[in-house]
Structure 1
Amino acid sequence: MARTTSEITQHHPYWHDQVGPMPVLPVDPPRETDVLIVGSGYTGLSAAIATARGGRKTLVIDAEAAGFGCSTRNGGQISTSVKPSLEKLTAKFGAQKARAVRGEGEQALAWIGDFIETEGIACDFKRAGRFHAAHTPAHYEALVRDADRMRKDEGIESFAVPRAEQHRELGTDSYYGGVAYTKHCSLDPAKYHLGLLMAALKAGAEVVAHCPVGRIEHTGTGFRVQTAKGEVRARDVIVATNGYTGALTPWLQRRVIPIGSYIIATEELPETLMNELFPTDRIASDTCKVLYYYRASPDRRRVLFGGRVSAAETDTSVSAPLLFESMVRIFPQLRDYAISHSWHGTVAYSFDEMAHTGIHDGVHYAMGYCGSGVSMAGYLGMRMGQKVLGLAEGQTAFDDLPHPTRPLYTGKPWFLPATVAWYRWVDRLQTRRAAIANSS
């Protein structure tokens, strides 16, 4: 008989068990610095590496432990990060700008692999590719058309996998084929974060945890930053809070939508079963509006399965059994295996489904990665650090994009439960209709 998830679930990220001890960090911040960075995730640490190596005295502070947020809580899947298609971006911004924006996604994907290799970060980085599965026959046809267009117009490598050949990629009959994107990657996000942290410290940056910021004041020649551990004066300030952006920066808070993403890890599985489920070791996702993403753990001993489980935010004791049922709908072979870990992190969406970086009231920022930030967060953090140094290469195609919000929105997504519920209903209806058509 299968064990219940509540019997053995650990309510912390599986990734946290895989990393060694964290370095000892200073307790208090200095009173003055050249660059003060709020947020110690991928964005903030990448910016810190750039500014510290550029000769600027750099301080990174975080309200929680270093890397507390989604940088150590995500699924470790890496794509090109830009969600809108070339066609949609062209209609909105023109062909030249559209290609530049899409090109930043390709650059971010290439950058992270080069950076990890150059820095020698041991984070189980692998160019395994992604299998993007279609939950209806119509979605499969659309996927193939889109992949053909991207291959022709942008040189994005992929190949179609019809349903009859699906088991080459994924051990399930729940989908109607899909497309494999060969350059997408995977890593252990916590090990990657630790590598960034160690690189920042080695470059000379200071990192202070458990130090919430209460206020950022522009002095005309710099900034006065009030923290829980005293005031810090800085020449430049970077905000790198993404899904954890709050009242400290109201203008930014109005432009990102915090969304909880929930993940479970199974107990250790037999090698033969893992080979059946993930024969190519690709990361996987699907075409549902409320999508699921999943993969084998780097040691191929567990399945890591994530997604949105409810209309409103919930806790990991509730999300674990819901994710489990979704997982076994796709992989019935896992019905008799238990869950070892259940956790969640908060990502940030933007209203136009694009990342944004720029300067507001003199404060640099980058955020809004829309759930695809493993490469883009570090890439834009690095570019932001270059901007602070006054380097021309810091400029990106995202810099002059409008950063939209909505009337009456203040950072609390009151509309999210209804939106998620609607999308989930649409997904179920489409899946049911496809199953009926397939059986007739």
Structure 2
Amino acid sequence: MKVFTADAVPGRPYWWDHVAWPTLGERPPNQTEILIIGAGYTGLSAAIAANDSGARVLVIDSGQPGQGASTRNGGMLGAHPRIGWDTLASRYGPSVADALFSEAADALSWIKKLLRNEKIACDYEECGRVQLAYTSDHFAAQKRMAAQISEKGGGPCEILSRDELSNYIATPLYKGAIRFPKHGALHPAKYLHGLLSAVLSRKITVVSNCPAVSVQNAGTKWRVSTPHGEITADKIVLATNGYTGQQFQWFNQRVFPVPSFIIATEPLSPELIKELAPSRHMMVETRTHHSYFRVSPDGSRILFGGRAALVDIDLTKAARRLRKKMVEIWPGLRDVQLSHVWTGNTGFTFDQLPHVGDRNGVHYALGYSGGGTVLAPWLGRKAALRAVGAPEGETAFTQTRFSSRWFHSGGRPHFLRPLDLWYRHWVDRREDKTAND
């Protein structure tokens, strides 16, 4: 059968159908106190924090602000470390592990206040999220994780037995789940536009199509070359995440882009949506496909994302792979066509943690490793507060090692190609076998 509907435009995110992009200037002023490079969630939140601390702020972006990962993700709002407490404690010590767990919960609470305070209308819903265990071993690990999250103040969570899953999803595929009742959903493009509106309402200049070509330290100042002239700045905040260019070599060696692909179904009946996902929770899997899926904010479609590949591939091939996984979960969707398929770069680090700090005077918040909906604005704010010298900029995410690896010298992450083959031909097959035993 045909994969796409007749009016599908592969490459265009579903979220873009519901927003109008503002017209912004493309010529920056030549001086500022705080220059923020990157105008996604991180950079816009940093701009608000720096401005509200009394600094004169300029934001530049290499393209249209927010057209990177900030408007290409699944719109799931939740924050607990991707890495378990035991692993964090072994790497950085128990006190840092405790602080990372606690801060993730603080970040989620802060984001909800931000939405209220800035009156950001982004279809936010505190619907909860379930993480679905693909194997019995995964479910056993979830039980340990839930105990750690509860003990370390990472927010409320509960274990769901296999029998309870029918209240959340119509599939026999999973062995159990963790439910996070305080996690939520939003429309990522409306979220980005709400942040951008909050920035523009403060009379902060945001310049589109203005890449930072080079950055030079000029004593007490920074000189940043752009296609539209040179900018002199007192401080710089780097907020480029999965779109960090090679002109920022030290950072480019530590944050690498991993594509995430998402499909959207054609409109479905309300009755079918209710049958597939009766509780409208956000849903993610434990298997290494990292599939994540949800009902669209208007209740009309299923949005389904995940690891179609670790490298860029043809979008039709990606759509077929994701659709196959979706139909494994919901066989009743085998005849449904797709209206959208798109991709975007997630910024990953080698320890799968974001990092905040100051590298030779360049302040940064980078590497959310798939958790940027909450942590990008939270840590963008922290980086800006550190840049202006405010004590509120303290964060546990400065206390981890932002390290590189010998096999990645920057540029394209070529190591992902053999890793992609290894996952598809070994890890995925082994996981499927374990699930069926």
Which position in structure 2 is the counterpart of 1:358? 357
3-state SS of paired residue (1:34): strand
Equivalence map 1:4-403=2 (5 Å): 4-5=3-4, 7-11=6-10, 12-19=12-19, 21-154=20-153, 156-403=155-402
Shift of 1:41: 0.2
For 1:231 and 1:138, locate their aligned partners in 2 and report how far apart those are by CA, in whole Å. Answer: 56
For 2:22 and 2:374, locate their aligned partners in 1 and report how far apart those are by CA, in whole Å. Answer: 24
For 2:151 and 2:222, locate their aligned partners in 1 and report how far apart those are by CA, in whole Å. Answer: 48
1:329-352 superposed Cα distances (whole Å, 9 cap, x missing partner) = 111111111100111100111111
> What percentage of residue pairs aligned between the two structures are identical?
39
Q: Would the aligned equivalents of 1:264 and 1:343 in 2 still touch at CA under 8 Å?
A: yes
For 2:136 and 2:59, locate their aligned partners in 1 and report how far apart those are by CA, in whole Å. Answer: 48
3-state SS of paired residue (2:213): strand
For 1:358 and 1:155, locate their aligned partners in 2 and report how far apart those are by CA, in whole Å. Answer: 23
Shift of 1:81: 4.2
Moved more, 416-425 or 378-387: 416-425
Q: Would the aligned equivalents of 2:105 and 2:153 in 1 still touch at CA under 8 Å?
A: no
Shift of 1:311: 4.5
Q: Would the aligned equivalents of 2:365 and 2:379 in 1 still touch at CA under 8 Å?
A: yes
Moved more, 153-162 or 107-116: 153-162
For 1:276 and 1:282, locate their aligned partners in 2 and report how far apart those are by CA, in whole Å. Answer: 13
Structure 1 letter corresponding to 2:419: T
Which position in structure 2 is the counterpart of 1:427? 428
Shift of 1:138: 2.0
TM-score (norm 2): 0.96
What root-mean-square deviation, in Å, do the aligned CA atoms of Structure 1 and Structure 2 show? 1.5
3-state SS of paired residue (1:5): coil
For 1:202 and 1:379, locate their aligned partners in 2 and report how far apart those are by CA, in whole Å. Answer: 20
Q: Would the aligned equivalents of 2:35 and 2:236 in 1 still touch at CA under 8 Å?
A: yes
The structure-2 alpha-carbon separation of the partners of 1:129 and 1:4, relative to structure 1 and needing over 3 Å to count, comes to: same
Q: Would the aligned equivalents of 1:216 and 1:225 in 2 still touch at CA under 8 Å?
A: yes
For 2:211 and 2:388, locate their aligned partners in 1 and report how far apart those are by CA, in whole Å. Answer: 26
Q: Would the aligned equivalents of 1:42 and 1:196 in 2 still touch at CA under 8 Å?
A: yes
Structure 2 letter corresponding to 1:188: H
Shift of 1:181: 1.3
Shift of 1:211: 1.1
Shift of 1:216: 0.6
For 2:176 and 2:423, locate their aligned partners in 1 and report how far apart those are by CA, in whole Å. Answer: 21
Shift of 1:418: 2.1
Q: Where do 5+ consecutive residues of structure 1 fail to align?
A: none
Structure 2 letter corresponding to 1:17: D
Moved more, 404-413 or 240-249: 404-413
Q: Would the aligned equivalents of 1:62 and 1:209 in 2 still touch at CA under 8 Å?
A: yes
For 1:433 and 1:243, locate their aligned partners in 2 and report how far apart those are by CA, in whole Å. Answer: 33
Q: Would the aligned equivalents of 1:311 and 1:418 in 2 still touch at CA under 8 Å?
A: no
Q: Would the aligned equivalents of 2:258 and 2:310 in 1 still touch at CA under 8 Å?
A: no
Shift of 1:24: 2.4
Q: Would the aligned equivalents of 1:387 and 1:395 in 2 still touch at CA under 8 Å?
A: yes
Q: Where do 5+ consecutive residues of structure 2 fail to align?
A: none
1:334-377 superposed Cα distances (whole Å, 9 cap, x missing partner) = 11111001111001111111100111121111100001111100
Shift of 1:145: 2.7
Which position in structure 1 is the counterpart of 2:406? 407
The structure-2 alpha-carbon separation of the partners of 1:410 and 1:331, relative to structure 1 and needing over 3 Å to count, comes to: same
Which position in structure 2 is the counterpart of 1:418? 418
Give structure 1 regions of 4+ aligned residues with deviation exceeding 6 angstroms: none
